[in-house]
Amino acid sequence: MRRPVARKLAVLAVSAAVVSLGAAAPPTAHPGDAEPGQAARPGAAPKVPVAVGYGGAVASVDQDASAAGIEVLKKGGNAVDAAVATAAALGVTEPYSAGVGGGGYFVYYDARTRSVHTIDGRETAPLTAGSDLFLENGKPLAFNDAVSSGLSVGTPGTPATWQKALDEWGSRRLGTVLKPAERLARDGFTVDDTFRSQTASNETRFRYFPDTAKLFLPGGRLPVVGSTFKNPELARTYEELGRKGVGAIYRGDIGDDIVKTVDHPPVDPASGWNARPGKLAEKDLAAYQAKLQAPTRASYRGLNVYSIAPSSSGGTTVGEALNILENTDLSKASEVQYLHHFIEASRIAFADRGRWVGDPAFEDVPTAGLLSQRFADSRACLIKDDAVLTSPLAPGDPRHPAACGTGGTAAPTTYEGENTTHLTVADRWGNVVSYTLTIEQTGGSGITVPGRGFLLNNELTDFSFAPANPAVHDPNLPGPGKRPRSSISPTIVLDAHNQPVVALGSPGGATIITTVLQTLTGFLDRHLPLVDAIAAPRASQRNAAQTELEPGLYDSPLRQQLEAIGHSFKLNPEIGAATGVQRLPNGKWLAAAEKVRRGGGSAMVVHPAP
């Protein structure tokens, strides 16, 4: 049921007003007004999950990172400049989620041309990698054995993404936008509960690698909450990147150090850990390209939803699910029926993702078909108001849509690490960036490049280690130079005049897709203010027998009502950690982040409105 755009935008404006009036006025010592890029010290103003004002906005999980982006905006930089500065700062304060040793996907809205562009900065497998990359004696490696090894490390894409974005749309040099992060790494940031707990969960494997233990377990102990954590080696790496450019990684000394580390992991012999060597070579770094490509686009309620195309499955899967939901009026549905349809649309979209999406440089990915309304309608008819589909659900065929048709063998959802990070930025000219970056699971491979201050990714474990069914083609097997499938879903929504409505994204591995979908429908259909759509308790169905629920839903009467229809659930303590920005009238922006998840996020604007 398509509703007029004018009505929808009026609703969004009302939602924005609710947030604006309901949010506390920014404190006098607002973190965005402190010395930008400096660590938040005990007694400083707490980070806030929502901010409204002018001159641009930044939302991330971390106060220091958001402040780095605000510093760049205040000095006249644009959204792209600020996004790179924020991402680099996250490499300091969120080193287990992001950094120059990883990759990601960058979505950019150009206000001058009113168009959306994207960069695929996904890591790639070595050029010598085959489909047997994770087989040993003919059998798949145990997942944990693969993670903390050189085999799991893909060619980093984050530095190339930063440079490509700045070259295409930025207004500042790389060295300039890296300065806040360089300063933060040198002077330090304040350790919080999240940083300590993430270190603790990785302590055993961090001790396998002396350079990692030296950096993240200072004095052989966990970092103390409230202490200052410094990373002078990373500060020097940023300084070198700023001075020499990203060629220092792809054709220079930093890259040489990465290759040596991957191919001969510096493991503590006393640990007994078998850190299997990787296959990375200098030619892999030299051949790497961050790819400019067209975004995915789905029409929803008269709005245009743009995201990242394969190699990520995020744009196609979120887009297909929205298309499935298009003909259901979610604004009038009960909470139970809203969640039921959201869960079932997610289940179907994941079934199709598993069969069809891989790296398009190697696989024939039917992107247009997956995003067609005709295909979505052929799948939507599977959903019944009073019954639940059985998982794993077999995929449909977007090349030949058949009403309520399924066929072939269901493909299970590959495990993806959940500790990615997302940032969202807007500037005073109306440009917007939605950027998700990652080193895969919390702590990546666990391997730190000696003397360089950053962890390497374990992104190649996003590949299927072996086909789930040898008789069915798996589009996500490893290959030479291939990008593993991702679920990253940075999203920008435009109105009928190609003006931004909202931009958002989330970390969370495969749960990214369901988090973005639920947040979008909560905001667009359920009329929740953006910060409340982000905070709402989440469900995640990924073509599995059980749907994961956060405690807010698992412990509510809604669970029993959904179980009465036939749903089955399991508890997940925390799903995702989203951020977003919303365009308001007259040049005003709203930035929103988590209220509680991962310790709460940090929303800032350049000039707060009273």
Q: Cα-flanking dihedrals φ and ψ of residue 107, to 5°?
A: -115, 130
- Active site annotation includes 420: yes
Consult the annotation and say whether 33 binds a ligand. Answer: no
The reply to whether 509 sits in an annotated binding site is yes
Is 486 labelled as part of a ligand binding site? yes
Q: In terms of Cα–Cα distance, which of 596, 574, 570, 592 is closest to 583? A: 592
H-helix or E-strand containing 526? none
The count of C-alpha atoms lying within 13 angstroms of the C-alpha of 565, restricted to the half-sphere facing its C-beta, is 22
The response to whether 334 counts as a known ligand-binding position is: no
SS3 track for 361-427: CCCCCCHHHHCCHHHHHHHHCCCCCCCCCCCCCCCCCCCCCCCCCCCCCCCCCCCCCCCCEEEEEEE
Q: How far is CA 522 from CA 17, 184, 377, 514, 533, in A?
A: 16, 36, 22, 12, 5
Q: Please name which of 419, 404, 311 lies closest in space to residue 356, comparing C-alpha atoms.
A: 311
522: how many CB neighbours lie within 10 A of its CB?
Answer: 22
Contact 394, 408 (CB under 8 A): yes
**Residue in the block written with tokens 């009502």:** 561
CA dist list (Å): 234 to 163, 172, 474, 571: 18, 21, 39, 38
Distance, CA of 437 to CA of 440 (rounded, Å): 9
Active-site entry in 176, 328, 414, 420: 420
| Residue 271 counted as an annotated binding residue | no
CA–CA separation, 108 vs 172, rounded Å?
16
Specify binding-site residues.
122, 462, 486-487, 509
Please identify every residue annotated as catalytic.
420
Specify binding-site residues for L-glutamate.
122, 462, 486-487, 509
